[in-house]
Amino acid sequence: MFMPIARLPRLPSLLDRKIYKTGQTRGADDDEIYQNRVGRNSTVLIPYMARGRPAIFPSEKEFENGYIVLIPPSEYFNQQNPDAFLKGKGLFLGKNALIFYEKREDWNKNNPESINWQPAKSRRSPLGGSYVARIPATTAHTNGGKIIRGFDTTSNKGAGIRVYEYSSSIITKQCRDQLEVLYWLCRDYESASLSSGMTINDIQTRRAAILKSCDEQGLLDYDKLYLARTINKNKNTVCPLCLEELSGKGFVTRMQQAEGREVNDLTVTEVNLFHIRELIVGAYNHVPYNLGWGHHHCNVVTKDAGIMNTLNWMVTIINRNILAGYLEEVKSGK
């Protein structure tokens, strides 16, 4: 009989934390409008200019914790009847929309404090205000200090998450299950797990249960995993960029640090989460069969450019080095 996931033997702590964190958004500084590392089903911030772009899923009504459309001041104040204009688009200040000040010139031209507007403070309707502001400091003005209004307290920092990072709680769970499967498809999963404190019985029990669960959920289609560049033809997990087989030890081993630049609390491991199709506005790409594990350095190189764009760039770099004669010098060891 299938054992519920909650009762399965625990994963090594670094691996368990790594899989859990895939359900969180990327980091954000205090001066940004976004929340820092929260669940992917949190309140979504939709740029006004991007609102009309087609998206696969979900529609605005399906966001689990609501959404807020961020409107540039120029778009609002340049309308003859701005509230009526927004109403025609299904938007209402203080309910599902806010004016978002990012430029000092907009703040000076249409200062919200001069018209007694209040900064928003709630992520769910009613929002408790009509605007938010994140304007960087500048030395070009006499009063050039940074302007931060709304969602700026320690307990209420950030208005929401980037729209393209959204994933429902159900899909996030599916992603986590599939990402765990990819660990168990590493060629040396057994030795990596043993070295991290699991017993052979725990390894066999957990691996069999997760593979069975994913198979039942439709998350273990090897052909799809191969096309997604997450496994090779031998059904072993690979880095989506360089296609080298991954070692299970990379999931449970912290990054080697440069001498003299060590950080005591470093938690970055050699293997990182990899989005096959990059996260972009207008698509929801944190979904099964679009997530894999890759080398930390391959992930850094790819960034938000996407795998194919990165590979094409690499080809250009290599060809340029060959034409310049440098690559031949590297090959000959000169």
Residues 84 and 106 in one domain: yes
Domain membership of residue 12 (yes or no) is no
Average per-residue pLDDT in the chain?
90
Residues 138 and 230 in one domain: no
Is the model's pLDDT at 331 over the cut of 70? no
Is the model's pLDDT at 315 over the cut of 80? yes
Residues 155 and 177 in one domain: no
Tell me what pLDDT residue 202 has. 97
Tell me what pLDDT residue 330 has. 62
Domain membership of residue 148 (yes or no) is yes
Is the model's pLDDT at 1 over the cut of 60? no
Least confident range from 115-129, 142-156, 286-300: namely 142-156
Domain membership of residue 84 (yes or no) is yes
pLDDT over 90 for what percent of the chain? Answer: 78
CB atoms within 10 A of CB 292: 26
* Last residue within a domain, chosen from 113, 131, 165: 165
Residues 30 and 66 in one domain: yes
pLDDT band at 20 (very low <50, low <70, confident <90, very high): very high
**Torsion angles phi and psi, residue 239, rounded to 5:** -75, 125
DSSP states of 286-302: -STTSEEEEEHHHHHHH
Residues 160 and 177 in one domain: no
Strand residue runs (E) in the chain: 44-47, 67-71, 97-101, 131-135, 147-149, 152-153, 156-157, 161-162, 271-275, 291-295
Residues 198 and 83 in one domain: no
Residues 112 and 85 in one domain: yes
Tell me what pLDDT residue 112 has. 98
Residues 158 and 176 in one domain: no
Domain membership of residue 243 (yes or no) is yes
Residues 43 and 131 in one domain: yes
Domain membership of residue 330 (yes or no) is no
Domain membership of residue 317 (yes or no) is no
What is the number of helices (H) and of strands (E) in the chain?
A: 11, 10
Is the model's pLDDT at 268 over the cut of 70? no
* Last residue within a domain, chosen from 165, 191, 213: 165
CB atoms within 10 A of CB 86: 20
Range of the domain at 59: 24-165
If one compares 7 and 321, the residue with the highest pLDDT of the two is: 321
Domain membership of residue 193 (yes or no) is yes
Best CA proximity match to 290, nearest among 206, 201, 229, 218: 229
pLDDT band at 138 (very low <50, low <70, confident <90, very high): confident
Residues 235 and 173 in one domain: yes
DSSP states of 195-257: HTT--HHHHHHHHHHHHHHHHHHT---HHHHHHTTSB-TTS-BB-TTT-PBPPGGGGSSBPPP
Domain membership of residue 74 (yes or no) is yes
Give the chain's domain count: 2
Residues 161 and 174 in one domain: no
Residues 78 and 104 in one domain: yes
pLDDT band at 215 (very low <50, low <70, confident <90, very high): very high
* Last residue within a domain, chosen from 273, 305, 322: 273
Tell me what pLDDT residue 6 has. 54
DSSP bridge pairs for 131: 99, 119
